[in-house]
Amino acid sequence: MITKKEAVDFLNSSSTENILDMLSKISKKGTHEKDRRRCITYSKNVFIPLSKWCRNKCGYCIFREDKPKLMKPSEVKEIILRGDKLGCREALFTFGENVDENEKIKEQLRSMGFDNILEYLYYLEDWTLNNSSLLPHTNCGILSYEELKMLKEVNASMGLMLENVSERLMNTIAHKYSPGKDPRLRIEMIENAGKLKIPFTTGLLIGIGETNEEIVESLFAIRKIYKKYGHIQEVIIQNFRAKKGIPMENFKEPSPVKMLKVIILAKLILDDISIQIPPNLNRETGQLFLLAGVDDWGGISPLTKDYVNPEAEWPEVEELRRWTEELGLELKMRLPVYDKYISREWLSEKVYEKIKIDILKDQR
C-alpha cells in the first residue's frame, strides 16, 4: 500500500524513472491469474438531461443553462425506445442540482401532475424498466438519505462526482457559486449510498485549481469510504477541458503526464475498484492510460451527445475496440451495474428481476 507521502512525492516528482517504477508495481499486481486484466469494459447508453437549470454555477461548467426548461415525458420515452433499438442498456438520467427550487420548473412539474422533480424522475425510470431493456442510472447532484432510498427502487446504480475533498476550492472560481460542491455534503451522500447498498460511481476532476496534496487526500477519502461500505464500483479520473464561454476558459488543462500519474495512483490506492476515463476527452492518450490500469471506458452513446462536454464526440464502438485490442485486451460491453453487484443484496427486487429475467437471459 502506497502512503500519502509517497503519493504526493510521486506527483511532485519530474522523474521518468519514478513513473516507470510505479507502472512496474501496477504490472506486478496483475501477475496472478485471478488478478490479470483481460477485458476493458464500456457501457452503451443514452444521455437524458431532464433539465439544464442548476442552483450551482461552477466555473468549468457549460451544461448549465439559465432557461428553466424540463424535457417532456414524450421526449424522454422516444429517446429510451430509440436507444433500446440500438442496443443501449443504460439510461443516464441527469439534471441540475435542486432544479425544482426554480418556480418555473415547479410550474412545469405541476402541469404534468408531479409535485417535485424526483417524483417525475421516479415515474420516468419506472417506465423505462417496464417498457425497455435499459437500466436507469441517476446522477443529479446532492440527494438525501430518504431520496436515495426512494430512487434505489428504480436504479441499477447511481453516481456523484466527489471532484475533490478540498474545502479551499469553495472559495475559488471553480466552486464559489456552487453550494452543492461542498465536499462534506458530497462525502455524506456517497456514504449514505453505501449505507443503502447502492452500487455507486464517483470520481475526481483534475485541473480545477487543486493541489497535489488535495488529489491524494481525495483518493484516500474514496478508499476509506469503499473499505467501509464496499459499494463504489468505479472511479472516474476526469480531466478538466477549457471551453469558450466558461469562467475558467483560460485555465490550463492538465497535461497527459499529470493525468497518467493520477491514474497510476488511483490504481494503486483504490484496490479492486474499476478506474474509468472518459474516452471522448482522451482520444489521443486513452490507450496509454490503459497501461496505467484503466479498465473501463465509461458510457458512450450511438444516439445522444455528451451534454457535459458537447464539443467532444463519442468514439464509435469499433474505434474503442481497436484501441483496446491493440494492447492485447478484449472490449466487453457491460451494464450500468457491475457484475459483482448483480444480487438481491445490492439491487431492489424490481431491478434485480429485470436484469436476471429480461436482460441477462437475452445475452445468453
End-to-end distance of the chain based on CA atoms, in angstroms? 39
Report the C-alpha gap between 128 and 126 in whole angstroms. Answer: 5
Q: How do beta strands 232-239 and 200-206 pair?
A: parallel
Residue 286 near residue 320 (C-beta atoms within 8 A):
no
Q: Which amino acid is at 174?
A: A
HSE toward the beta carbon, residue 264, CA cutoff 13 A: 24
Q: Which of 90, 191, 102, 107 is nearest to 143 (CA)?
A: 191
Q: What are phi and psi of 250, to 5 degrees?
A: -100, 5
Q: Which of 292, 230, 305, 226 is nearest to 264 (CA)?
A: 292
140 is in an annotated binding site: no
58 is in an annotated binding site: yes
Cell numbers for 176? 464559489
Cell numbers for 225? 469510504
Cell numbers for 82? 430509440
Cell numbers for 40? 476493458
**Binding positions:** 54, 58, 61
**Binding annotation for [4Fe-4S] cluster:** 54, 58, 61
